[in-house]
Amino acid sequence: MMLGSKFNPEKLGEIRPNQLITTFGPGSILDAVKDSVTVLDTPYWAAKGNSIYDSRLASYFGVHYFRSPRASYENDLPVVSFPSYHVCPNEKCSRLFDIRNSMDYETYLRQGPTCPDCGWKSFPARFVIACRNGHLDDFPWRWWVHRGVTACEGKMKIYSTGETSTLAEMIVECDCGKKRPMSGATDKENFKDYKCTGRHPHRPKSGSEKCDCKEIFPSQRGATNIYFPVLRSAISIPPWTNPLYLLLDEHYTRICDYKRDFGDLGITKVFESYFADRFTRGEFDKALENREKKIKEFVEIKEMEYAAFTHHADPTYKKDVKYFKALEDPVPSYLQKYFSRIIKIERLREVMVLQGFLRIDPPEPEVDNLSKMVPITKNRADPWLPGVEIHGEGIFIEFNKKAIIKWIEKLNVTKRSEEYARKYSDFVKRKGWDNAKERNGEYVLLHTFAHLIIKEMGLYSGYSSASIRERIYSSETMHGVLFYTGSSDKEGSLGGLVELGEETKFRKIFKSALENSLLCTTDPECSNSDPDPDTLNGPACHSCCMISETACENGNRLLDRSFISLLDGKQEYSFFDELIRELCEVSL
């Protein structure tokens, strides 16, 4: 079965290419027009879209290139019906049935799922079960109604006994006489004796896997914890976007094949056929050497981007303006203590790639090895992953390194920073993540600053705050934040964000952000908060600091308003304490 977007009486639904990467990728559950379906893994895709090239991301993932989902308006995306169990709405029938046992393909395409007993159009069951290893299956209806494993194969039905839709009034009944209400059906404690089936519905031809997960999570099929995409992205920068590198990416699969079959002679053949008329052999060999350097950690990609932003005036980075163009004005004197540079990125391209997905728990953006992640299957002969390219604009702000070091060295700030680092380390260990980078007070400062600025940018730029994304650069050598537009099929480069980098407009936004950080509608409860071991947030909530999940790179974790503002009893934590007193004319 397929999804498309052109009007077709037999289509199941429609989806934008960008949604396939960010929301409804392989393994997710999508409510289509006629049924609930799951998108299949990439080996089941008969058609693919345009090729997308980014050498650094390709090296990191071990693939040759990326492909966007095809958008030809008809039969673009393969799906299967899921959950398999459906419910008949006919009160005289109320049949609960597995559609796999009675599906007529032609009837299904015309009408959607229909009851095998009375022929009424049916709807998918509300509940599914999942585990942290990424498995997903139908709710165990027979196991539930019989209160354990059973050999009974009687027909089942589900009906309501009252006027409300509470689970206690929903009854599952089997022909054998067994019946049970659905109260407690979403409580994982009631599934301690149930063993995970190891099923991946997005791989219908693959058998079930062995699963050692001891926790089963029953849930409604539309719950947000059923599917968390694992996304990685890179900002396209010179020299990787120069004509030589783009041509190299285009022919990289051929280079690998020829090198495997003919050795160095094969590489020479490719050079003479596709490169010799435009580039020297030395230029080609140097570019190929760089392309084949394996990027092992995602932070390496960010380090390259940071170097491009901070050295944008160097000849190496000014050669390519197709994907990257930056301008810089002097930092105003009253901000030089806090910021080293404010750079307007007039043109940028982001390549966003879907690596896999998690269930139950969201991913961390810079953890290289997510042990519970279900990866997207790669083709061995022609390895690629699904991705999209996003064109937009941005503003890069580099913090003053000396000011950050001086701030961190304050006794109380040091203790607070160490507390965040410790609690984040414990959080990572509980999740079973490997190779996670340290998150200390500096990261929390940059992250909170980014959120407060994005909330203000949404009021002045012409973009919604959900369309402005953050990218945090925090390490011993990086101290900056990138704000950029992040939509490939709705909002592109309108110029409104870059304009906010001008001194008068940025002053207005920054002052407003600082003023709004002083108070929260949930104070004093919010301002009195200490770093939480689960949310990893201090004084931060949806009223003051949190933004749309699509705009935040860290799931609204690691936020602390006291690092920015002057909060009662926590004034010594503020990085901008002097500026707030001067710019906002505040005295405490």
Crossing angle of helices 264-274 and 281-291, in 10° steps, is 120
Q: Are 185 and 171 in contact (CB under 8 A)?
A: no
| Residue 442 identity | E
Distance of CA 572 to the CA centre of its chain: 35
C-alpha dist (Å) from residue 300 to 56, 241, 253, 305, 478: 9, 17, 24, 9, 11
* pLDDT for residue 490: 45
Q: What is the phi/psi pair of residue 402, to 5°?
A: -65, -40
* pLDDT for residue 299: 85
* pLDDT for residue 586: 60
pTM for the whole structure: 0.83
Q: Quick one: the chain helix, strand, coil %, rounded to 5?
A: 30, 20, 45
Q: Are 184 and 168 in contact (CB under 8 A)?
A: no
Q: Which two tokens stand for residue 517?
A: 């950080």
Beta carbons within 8 Å of 30's beta carbon, 6+ residues apart: 3, 13, 15, 24, 36, 37, 38, 39, 79
* pLDDT for residue 539: 92
Rounded Cα distance between 176 and 174, Å, is: 5
pLDDT in tens, the chain (588 residues): 445 545 455 566 677 777 788 888 899 998 888 888 898 888 888 767 788 888 888 888 888 888 887 766 566 678 888 999 999 998 889 899 998 888 777 888 778 888 988 888 999 998 999 999 999 999 999 999 998 888 888 899 998 887 777 888 888 999 898 988 988 888 888 888 899 999 999 998 888 888 888 889 999 888 888 999 988 888 888 777 777 877 888 888 888 888 888 888 888 888 888 888 888 888 888 888 877 787 888 888 898 889 888 888 777 666 666 788 888 888 888 899 999 999 998 888 889 899 999 998 888 777 777 778 899 887 777 788 998 888 888 899 999 999 999 999 988 889 999 999 999 988 888 877 766 778 899 999 999 999 999 998 888 777 777 788 899 999 888 999 999 886 554 444 555 788 888 888 888 999 999 988 888 999 889 988 889 998 899 999 999 999 888 788 888 899 999 999 888 888 889 999 888 887 766 655
Rounded Cα distance between 563 and 77, Å, is: 46
